[in-house]
Structure 1
Amino acid sequence: GQHRQSFKLLVSADARGEGAFISEVAILDGNRPSHTVERSSKTLSKSDWLGRGYQEAFATDQQLLSFLVE
């Protein structure tokens, strides 16, 4: 079989935009699951359903970069 490179992608949009991007990647990724899509709304911060208790998920840029390239 053909070997394709896998990517970790970060999408930043409202919930509808994130969902649309994820579904488009899934449709185009014929050798699923070869790519991972991280939703910025879920990956970069933590909060409750109403946005209360907001906390950044990564203390430094280096921590975020390490997460994205692992």
Structure 2
Amino acid sequence: MRRSRYEELKALLVVYLVPHVEAKATDEEVMKVMECPHCHSSRLSKNRHRHSKQRYLCKDCDKQFLERTD
């Protein structure tokens, strides 16, 4: 493949994919924003799933809760 064609395809892929990639938050970003509904701590860990929803465990108060979807 010629270099100019490669650069053209690369530019098209970047234009198409970047908006889709930037729109998705990573698990780490979500965890930084979340807090425990009981003690409001942000020190959380993932703790299995329940009914297709992620369950979290607070590292400070040891209570579990489900992710909120509102």
TM superposition score category, shorter chain reference: under 0.3
Greater relative contact order, per chain length (Cα 8 Å cut-off, separation 6+): 1
- Specify the structure having the higher radius of gyration (Cα): 2
TM-score, structure 2 as length reference: 0.26
* TM-score w.r.t. length of structure 1: 0.26
